[in-house]
Structure 1
Amino acid sequence: MLIDSHCHLNYEGLIERQGDILAAARARGVRGFLNISTRQSEWDAVVATAQREDDVWASVGIHPHEADKHRDLGRTALMEASEHPRVIGIGETGLDYYYDKSDREAQRELFVMHIGVARDTGLPIIIHTRDAEADTLSILREEMEKGAFPALIHCFTASRKFGDAVLDLGLTISISGIVTFKNAKDLQAAARDIPDDRLLVETDSPFLAPVPHRGKTCEPAFVGDTLAFLAALRGVSEDTLAAQTGRNFFALFQKAQA
């Protein structure tokens, strides 16, 4: 089953034609969509989309870019939002030291808070990390020692060393359309070797359209292009990889099956 494990259906560029975009994706065989939130003000709309569409689920969380604006966000608010039956993940959250749009300590504190909610709810935490490998890994290791929690590195572009380390911690890795870019040789090498049962595919739409759509607004339908590239890279059929990544999605996001 082909699933877009990370998309922003309520973002500008998709929200204006959301129905048509979902129809186009379904026509290409996409059978599920995880609609991701990045700030508290989005939660209601993201969940409403998931309520309206049977094949769409939602996440609730705060992106690291938004950490400064959510310093007063209490753990209780995130816990309560996660209880909605269509919410199956926590995030996206994490650390972004590339743009540094929020204070780094605020990012770290928010990340740890999200991990605690993921641990207590059993919902997977969806992690964004950019130019922050050392701190991300340090926090993950420290928090895992307090008690295991399900977790996913979304839009993986980090080093092979980081990838191996998070796999050792039991995390799943999601690959976006970046893997299709001509200059993404290191990512392609890493994506080739991710264990079969730890791999997901995503679009991160409306961002990062894969080849041959690069430069356009990314859509969930394009997850099929990323999957086709990955299947060729890994030497398996598209049907085999779609089935495997679909199983992986439901194994990780177990609430989606409830």
Structure 2
Amino acid sequence: MTAEPTTQPPHLTDSHCHLDFPDFEGEVDAVIARAHAAGIHRMVTICTKPGQEPAVRALAEAHPSLWYAYGLHPMQVGKQPPVSVADLIAVAQHPKMVGIGETGLDYHYTAETAVAQRDSLRIHITAAQETGLPLIIHARAADEDMAEILTEGFRAAPYTCVMHCFSSGEPLARAALDLGFYLSMSGIAAFPKSQELRDIFSRAPLDRILLETDSPYLAPPPHRGRRNEPAYTAHTAQVGADIFGLSLADFAAATEANFERLFTRVRPA
């Protein structure tokens, strides 16, 4: 009697997680192993504070399936030392450093540093332009300024970009897509009350969609309310497949190609 073939999960990439956060202390190896078992064969862990860069780099060096990005998170502006274009370019020399950021604007929690956030964002844009690495954007309650600054920078010198954990409105989505940028789908897209966001994704070109967890935050159902981790990318991918009317395998293949097109320094699968 011939055994039934085992169905392997499709390959997926978690394009944005934070494996250096205390939530994962002492568990990174197990978290990565669970990700691999779920088909998540690559992860990009994001450094949000300059002082954490050595630790984040060490994680990427220790795990073949892990890469990293470096920048100053907008909510850390004014709390952490500022970064310079030269600093970002210097860190970008590391072969496993694959993106600039996350950077951006957050007027919901940290509106008091809005001017400094805009200055920091422009520094990161310049570094993306000079290195050729993609910019990784955080946007919250700042859609108009975000669209203006991204467009202004792109007109000065083109660069590539992903709108990480996209949950803004249609105008910012359209502005980003018009510049050739990517929208990243997180667990928020799987929340029951996120139909408006799912509709925005459904109107975007399939070749501009990425997947992420933003773990340890924003776990999708059925894990909502608990710590998120890269393995749960698979749940968001199924929602994305449903949005685009595709099989999970076909949606996974599309997002894999998108990731490799944007994050050119990451080795292809």
Bigger Cα Rg: 2
Distance 1:78 1:162 in 2: 26
Contact 1:71/1:106 (8 A) holds in 2: no
Q: Are residues 1:240 and 2:255 paired?
A: no
Match of 1:3 among 8, 13, 21: 13
Q: Are residues 1:126 and 2:133 paired?
A: no
Q: How many residues align?
A: 258
Q: Residue 42 of structure 1 corresponds to which residue in structure 2? A: 52
Amino acid paired to 2:58: A
Distance 2:81 2:27 in 1: 33
Gaps of 5+ in 2: 1-10
User: Offset at 1:100?
Assistant: 1.0
Q: Residue 88 of structure 1 corresponds to which residue in structure 2? A: 98
Find the residue that maps to 1:117 and give its secondary structure.
helix
Q: Residue 176 of structure 1 corresponds to which residue in structure 2? A: 186
Distance 2:147 2:111 in 1: 20
Contact 2:69/2:101 (8 A) holds in 1: yes
Distance 2:107 2:159 in 1: 24
Amino acid paired to 2:178: D
Gaps of 5+ in 1: none
Find the residue that maps to 2:14 and give its secondary structure.
strand
Contact 1:174/1:202 (8 A) holds in 2: yes
User: Offset at 1:15?
Assistant: 2.9
Amino acid paired to 1:216: R
Distance 2:112 2:180 in 1: 28
Distance 1:233 1:77 in 2: 40
Contact 1:205/1:219 (8 A) holds in 2: yes
Cα distance change, pair 22–42 in 1 and its aligned pair in 2 (3 A):
same
Cα distance change, pair 15–246 in 1 and its aligned pair in 2 (3 A):
farther
Contact 2:71/2:83 (8 A) holds in 1: no
Q: Residue 145 of structure 2 corresponds to which residue in structure 1? A: 135
Match of 1:154 among 136, 148, 164: 164
Distance 1:183 1:256 in 2: 34
Q: Residue 207 of structure 1 corresponds to which residue in structure 2? A: 217
Distance 1:69 1:56 in 2: 28
User: Offset at 1:35?
Assistant: 0.5
Q: Are residues 1:194 and 2:240 paired?
A: no
Q: TM-score, normalised by structure 1?
A: 0.97
4+ long deviations beyond 4 Å: none
Identity %: 38
**Which whole-Å deviations, capped at 9, do the CAs of 1:205-256 have from their partners, x for residues lacking one?**
0000001100000010000000011111211011111111011101000011
Higher share of residues assigned helix:
1
Q: Residue 216 of structure 1 corresponds to which residue in structure 2? A: 226
Q: Residue 24 of structure 1 corresponds to which residue in structure 2? A: 34
User: Offset at 1:67?
Assistant: 1.1
